[in-house]
Amino acid sequence: MLECLPVLPSGYFKLMIYETVAAVDLGSNSFRLQVGRVVDNQIYTLDSMKEPVRLASGLNADKRLDIPAQARALDALRRFGERLGGLDAGAVRVVATNTLRVAKNSAEFLPQAEEALGFPIEIIAGREEARLIYIGASHSLPTVTHKRLVVDIGGGSTEFIIGKRHDPQLMESLYMGCVSYTLRFFPDRRIDKNRLREAQVAATKEIELIAHDYQRLGWKEAVGSSGTARAIADVLEMNGLNPNGESGITRVGLEKFCSLLIKAGSAEALDLPGVKGDRLP
C-alpha cells in the first residue's frame, strides 16, 4: 500500500538569516511556488501558487521545447515573479527538473525564463531532484525509526528514494512520467487494454533496472509525495476501490481503476467522483 502526501515543492531550504524564504519548482507538469516565514528554525507557509504549465507536453520528437509551451511557462513565471518581488535573491531557490534537463533548447530558453521570474534558475540532476523530494517529504511525515520508500510521479520523470528519518540513502530518477507516458502511449487520449499493457511493460522495464538494489536495502513504509499519487488515492478512496476500506494506493484498487479506464475508453469519459480535469495530463 502506498500512503500519499500533499505536494511539496522540490526545493527545501537550509534555514538562513532570512525571515521570509521561497521555493519555486519548475516541474514537467506543474510549476509551483511556496513562500514561507522562518520562525525558530521552522518554516511556516505564507502563500502558495500552482500553474498547470504541462511543460513536458511541449517536447517535440527532436526533444526541443515548442513555442506554445515556452509561452505558457513564461506567463506563469511572470506571475510568480510578481509575488516574489522584494525578496532577496539568497532567500529564493528555483529549480527546474526533467523537461528542462532533456530539452535541447534549454540553454536558449533559460535566459528568457530567468528574466520573466527575476531570479536565477538551476536545472538540477535527477538524483538531486530525488534528494530534495525526500527531504521535503520526510519533514512532512511523523518521525519514525524505520526506512521509508518515497515515490514521486512527475510529468516527465519518477523519483524513487529510500531513506531513514531525514537522510536519503538510495536515490534514482527514471524517465517515466504522467505527461511523457500519455504522449508516448495514449497520444489521442484513447485507452484500451493493449495500450495500457504496453505502458505497464515499459514502466516495468524501467523499474527493473533499480529493483534489485532497492529490494536489497528494503523499506517498511511506502509514501507517494506527488499530486499524481494524491489524485489516484482520492479516486480509489472515494469510489471504494481499495479492499476493506484501506486508504492510499493499493494493487487491488489500481487494478479495478484500470478496468474502469479501459471500459470508459479515456480518462475524460470516466465519470467517477474524484477525477479532476486539472489532473489529466
Dump pLDDT digits (tens) for 160-196.
Answer: 999 999 999 999 999 999 999 999 999 999 999 999 9
Give me the pLDDT at residue 9, please. Answer: 45
**How many Å apart are CA 179 and CA 155, to the nearest integer?**
5
Smallest CA-to-CA distance from 162 within 151, 173, 153 is with 151
In a domain, 1, yes or no: no
Please tell me whether residues 154 and 87 are part of one structural domain. Answer: no
**How many Å apart are CA 134 and CA 23, to the nearest integer?**
15
Q: Which domain holds residue 121?
A: 7-125
In the Cβ-directed half-sphere of 190, how many Cα atoms lie within 13 Å? 5
- Condensed to tens digits (0 to 9), the pLDDT of residues 225-260 reads 988 899 999 999 999 999 999 999 999 999 999 999
Smallest CA-to-CA distance from 90 within 141, 23, 30 is with 23
Give me the pLDDT at residue 281, please. Answer: 54
Smallest CA-to-CA distance from 202 within 216, 223, 185 is with 185
111: CATH = 3.30.420.40
Last-in-domain residue among 125, 150, 165: 125
**How many Å apart are CA 148 and CA 78, to the nearest integer?**
37
Q: Which residues of the chain are modeled with pLDDT < 70?
A: 1-16, 277-281
Please tell me whether residues 21 and 116 are part of one structural domain. Answer: yes
206: CATH = 3.30.420.150
Please tell me whether residues 141 and 11 are part of one structural domain. Answer: no
Please tell me whether residues 78 and 110 are part of one structural domain. Answer: yes
In a domain, 2, yes or no: no
